[in-house]
Amino acid sequence: MQPMSKQPIQMRRLWQVWSRGMIAGMLVLSLGTACNAGLLGRSPSDLPTPPAKLASVMLTAKAGEQQKFGGFGVSQIVSKDYAQLPYGRRKELAQVLWKDLRLNTLRLWFFMDVYAPKPGQRQLSPMFTDPYLQMVRDAQQTGQIQNLLLAPTGVPQYLLEKRDGGMRIRRDKLTDWAETIADFIQAVRDRYGIQINVTGIQNEPNDDHLNFSKGEIAQAVKQLRRSLDQRKLNAVKIIAPESSNADGYAERLIDDLKRDPDAWNAIEGIATHSYNMAATPAMADRVRNTGKTYWQTEAGANGPEEPGNAMIATSMAARFLNDVNHWVTHWIWFIGAAQADPNDNATRLMKFEADRPQKTWVTRFKKYDYLQQLTQTFEVGATFRTVESSLDGKMVWTYGKKPRINAAVARNPDGSWAIGITNFTSEEGRHSQDPHDQTGYPTQPFSVTIRIAELAGSRPRPFQVRRSNAQLSNQQQADMTMRNGALTLDIQPLELLTLRSQP
């Protein structure tokens, strides 16, 4: 027993401890009650809500090889500004454009009325100027160029006549028209040693400056084939029609070619452009399993553009994925690099300003990064599979509302699998039942599951993931693993996602 003298002191200490504990407990109880009362007193709309579940999309890559990919390319325009660039800058530009983007096709503009201004007259120098020649040499020196594709345009007026509601090649001048193209290809080879190995017949023949009436395109390609062969240019391939869109007019021209066996045999492949109406199932059906290639020889945009524009970049990437999902074998952007033009920079992947300091004279637009991401994913020789979507079916980029999701799947020559996916929803999109509305849909992120039928039941397969959007440029993400032929990932508005497996 404690001495009596110490008991009061101990009792006071016990009382202090006990009373402090009671006060703390009461405070905790009071706070808890207050919090509960506050939560219970709030309406459901005031409560914090969990993140909304993303809409799910299933992309299915069907089993079976489709077309083999021939590669990417651009056309180039040449101005006095390019001619004034010193060798070091031209070399740098060629490196960034051709090697860093892995492009293999250069589309060359051929202004027929400059080369042949009068009947029987040929002027190579005004057309194939020294700067133009230098641009071709610069591209060839990178070792990337496999195809020099000629794009005839500007048919001389003396070869044309107005009939059938538009401008047509005069029937008695068809040989002159074909020989003008063949003469130019021969002259460039003989004078400069430059081998043009593919030629179109006319850039966008659906335009007002030249149309083909029923059956005339078949006669045109047969005559061009004869004119080339007569000059021992048998190796030069012909593609046609290079219409501005994959529309009904392009389908009619291709049908004309297919109805004439000699004309169909005269061409290497069909060709259209990819703007508002890109490749379609109808176009794919016309070339599938025919042994012909399908060249998309010009995709583009128009108007101003500032760096970081993900809208234009996603549109470009979506059209590529659309096109290769519909049998396109070669894919070409309009202009690779050119002098800056504030009113028309959207046509270019890059702009240059010759008078600026070394580190600031070239600007890469956002679509450059998106294209580089695609070229690092889909190799020349990749064999595509047909992909369909639970959301947008065949995901056709054509007249009307544009698909929210576009995708393509291929197997590269090294055995790796390649996947590309875009989300083309944006703040500029809108819900509309108007059949003439050409916009996309409003902003919406998606959870996308990609399923490759040929990989069902296979071992787990790691994929390297890369992402581009307004903030990111071809940035590597954490690897993902495909199991039983499927994997799921999120894609935000105006994003490009690519995945590539190990061989």
Rounded Cα distance between 59 and 452, Å, is 8
Q: Residue 389, SS3?
A: strand
- Cis amide leading into 307 (omega within 30): no
What is the four-CA torsion angle of 174, 178, 183, 185, rounded to 10 degrees? 160
| Phi, psi angle pair for 206, to nearest 5° | -80, -5
Whole-structure pTM value: 0.89
The partner residues of 352 in beta bridges, in order of sequence, read 339, 362
Query: pLDDT of 28-84, one tens digit each?
Result: 333 343 333 343 344 444 555 555 689 999 999 999 999 999 999 999 988 888 988
Query: Where exactly are the structural domains of the chain?
Result: 55-61+384-501, 71-299
Among the CATH numbers 1.20.1440.130, 2.60.40.1180, 3.40.50.620, 1.10.3720.10, which is that of 55-61+384-501? Answer: 2.60.40.1180
Q: How far is CA 140 from CA 137, 199, 275, 329, 336, in A?
A: 5, 18, 28, 22, 15
Q: How far is CA 62 from CA 149, 188, 293, in A?
A: 33, 45, 21
Which of 348, 366, 368, 349 minimizes the C-alpha distance to 309? 366
Q: Residue 107, SS3?
A: strand
**Can you give the pLDDT of all 503 residues of the chain as single tens digits?**
433 333 333 333 333 433 444 333 333 333 343 333 343 344 444 555 555 689 999 999 999 999 999 999 999 988 888 988 999 999 999 999 999 999 999 999 999 999 999 999 999 999 999 999 999 999 999 999 999 999 999 999 999 999 888 889 999 999 999 999 999 999 999 999 999 999 999 999 987 678 888 899 999 999 999 999 999 999 999 999 999 999 999 999 999 999 999 999 999 999 999 999 999 999 999 999 999 999 999 999 999 999 999 999 999 999 999 999 999 999 999 999 999 999 999 999 999 998 888 889 999 999 999 999 999 999 999 999 999 999 999 999 999 999 999 999 999 999 999 999 999 999 998 888 788 889 999 999 999 999 999 999 999 999 999 999 999 999 999 999 999 999 999 999 999 999 999 99
Which of 322, 493, 329 minimizes the C-alpha distance to 395? 322
Residue with tokens 């890059």: 350
Q: Residue 72, SS3?
A: strand
Which of 289, 233, 292, 230 minimizes the C-alpha distance to 257? 292
Rounded Cα distance between 354 and 82, Å, is 8
Q: Would you state the structure tokens that stand for residue 342, as one six-digit string?
A: 């504030």
Rounded Cα distance between 482 and 74, Å, is 34
Residues in CB range of 475: below 8 A, 6 or more apart: 466, 467, 468
Neighbours of 190 (CB within 10 A): 11
| pLDDT, position 49 | 53
Rounded Cα distance between 276 and 285, Å, is 20
Compute the Cα dihedral for 202, 154, 113, 350 and give only its sign. negative
| pLDDT, position 206 | 83
Residues in CB range of 192: below 8 A, 6 or more apart: 128, 133
| pLDDT, position 52 | 67
Q: Note the residue count of the chain.
A: 503
State which amino acid sits at residue 4. Answer: M
Query: What is the DSSP track for 167-229?
Result: EEE-GGGHHHHHHHHHHHHHHHHHHH-----EE-S-S-TTSTT----TTHHHHHHHHHHHHHH
- How many angstroms from the chain centroid is the CA of residue 325? 12
- How many angstroms from the chain centroid is the CA of residue 175? 37
Cα 148–150–154 angle (5° rounding)?
160
Rounded Cα distance between 309 and 470, Å, is 7
Supply the CATH classification number for the domain 71-299. 3.20.20.80
Query: What is the DSSP track for 445-459?
Result: -EEEEEEEGGGTTPP
Residues in CB range of 171: below 8 A, 6 or more apart: none
Which of 76, 147, 192, 118 minimizes the C-alpha distance to 329? 147
